[in-house]
C-alpha cells in the first residue's frame, strides 16, 4: 500500500523550491473546464498532433501546424471520413505537412472513429468528459481499440493535452512508484502494471484531493 501523498509532495518540494512552488509548477495547464463543449474537430486536431509527435521532432510538427490544419480541412471528422482515399492520395504529397503515410492514414482512421462515435453516442468531448477519472486505463483501452496509433504514451498525452485529467506513465513517474513499492520496475506498459499505477494514483487523489494529472507530475518531480 503506498504511503500518503503528503510525504511525496514534501519530496517534490525539496527538489523544486518548496511546497507552494512545487504545487504551482505541477498544475495541469491543459485542463479544460468545459471539455464536453470542445468540438470534435479540435479534439481530432490534438489527437493528430500527438500521433505525429510520437517518435518525431515535435518542433517540426509545431512549425508546420498551420499547414496541417489547412491540409486536413480543419480536422472535420465527418468531412475527412467522407473524403476517404481521395484525400489520402492528396495528403501523401502535400508539402504543408509531415508526409508520413502511416500517420496520415492513422489520422483518417481516427477521423472515422470520432465521426462514428459522435453519430452513435453524442459529442466526443461529452463522451470524454463523462468518463470516470478513476478509470483512465479503461478510456485508454477504448482509444487503443477503436482509434489508430493511440496506444501507450500517445493515448495518455492525447488525454492530457485534450484537457482530460490524465496521468502519464513517464519514466520518472514509474521510478517514483518503484520507490513507493507500487511497481517492480520503472515502466508501466502492460495491463497489470498500468492498473497498479491507476490504483495508486486513485488512492493519492483520495487522500490529497489533488487532480490526477497534478499527482502524476508531482510524482515525477519527487524523483529530482
**Together in a domain, 125 and 19:** no
**Together in a domain, 171 and 152:** no
**Together in a domain, 127 and 49:** yes
Query: What is the distance between the alpha carbons of residues 136 and 178, in angstroms, rounded to a whole number?
Result: 20
CATH number at 134 reads 1.10.340.30
Task: Decide if 216 contacts 173 (C-beta within 8 A).
Answer: yes
Angle ∠(64,117,101) on CA atoms, nearest 5: 35
Amino acid 106: pLDDT:
98
Q: What is the pLDDT along the chain (224 residues), one digit of tens a residue?
A: 567 899 999 999 999 999 999 999 999 999 998 999 999 999 999 999 999 999 999 999 999 999 999 999 999 999 999 998 899 999 999 999 999 999 999 999 999 999 999 999 999 999 999 999 999 999 999 999 999 999 999 999 999 999 999 999 999 999 999 999 999 999 999 999 999 999 999 999 999 999 999 999 999 999 98
**Together in a domain, 143 and 171:** no
Report the phi/psi class of residue 6: left, alpha or beta, with left for phi > 0 and alpha for psi in -120 to 50: alpha
**Together in a domain, 136 and 85:** yes
**Together in a domain, 88 and 177:** no
Which of residues 144, 162, 180 is at a domain's end? 162
**Together in a domain, 43 and 102:** yes
Which of residues 133, 162, 191 is at a domain's end? 162
Overall domain count for the chain: 2
**Together in a domain, 17 and 42:** no
The domain of 175 spans 5-28+167-221
Which of residues 147, 162, 177 is at a domain's end? 162
**Together in a domain, 172 and 202:** yes
Q: Give the Cβ contact number of residue 78 at 10 Å.
A: 16
**Together in a domain, 207 and 180:** yes
Query: What is the distance between the alpha carbons of residues 30 and 157, in angstroms, rounded to a whole number?
Result: 11
* Nearest CA-CA partner of 83 in 99, 67, 104: 104
**Together in a domain, 211 and 128:** no
**Together in a domain, 129 and 208:** no
Amino acid at each position: 500500500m503506498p504511503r500518503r501523498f503528503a510525504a511525496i509532495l514534501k519530496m517534490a518540494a525539496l527538489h523544486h523550491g518548496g511546497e507552494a512552488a512545487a504545487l504551482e509548477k505541477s498544475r495541469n495547464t491543459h485542463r479544460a473546464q468545459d471539455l464536453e463543449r470542445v468540438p470534435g474537430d479540435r479534439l481530432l486536431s490534438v489527437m493528430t498532433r500527438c500521433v505525429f509527435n510520437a517518435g518525431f521532432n515535435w518542433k517540426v510538427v509545431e512549425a508546420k501546424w498551420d499547414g496541417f490544419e489547412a491540409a486536413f480541412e480543419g480536422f472535420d471528422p465527418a468531412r475527412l471520413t467522407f473524403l476517404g482515399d481521395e484525400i489520402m492520395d492528396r495528403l501523401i504529397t502535400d508539402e504543408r505537412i509531415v508526409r508520413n503515410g502511416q500517420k496520415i492514414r492513422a489520422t483518417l482512421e481516427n477521423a472515422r472513429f470520432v465521426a462514428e462515435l459522435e453519430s452513435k453516442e453524442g459529442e466526443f468531448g461529452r463522451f470524454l468528459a463523462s468518463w470516470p477519472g478513476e478509470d483512465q486505463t479503461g478510456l485508454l483501452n477504448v482509444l487503443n481499440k477503436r482509434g489508430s496509433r493511440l496506444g501507450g504514451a500517445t493515448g495518455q498525452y492525447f488525454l492530457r493535452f485534450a484537457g482530460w485529467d490524465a496521468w502519464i506513465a513517464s519514466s520518472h513517474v514509474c521510478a517514483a512508484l518503484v520507490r513507493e513499492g507500487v511497481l517492480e520496475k520503472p515502466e508501466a506498459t502492460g495491463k497489470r502494471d498500468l492498473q497498479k499505477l491507476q490504483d495508486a494514483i486513485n488512492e493519492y487523489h483520495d487522500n490529497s484531493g489533488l487532480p490526477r494529472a497534478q499527482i502524476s507530475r508531482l510524482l515525477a518531480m519527487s524523483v529530482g
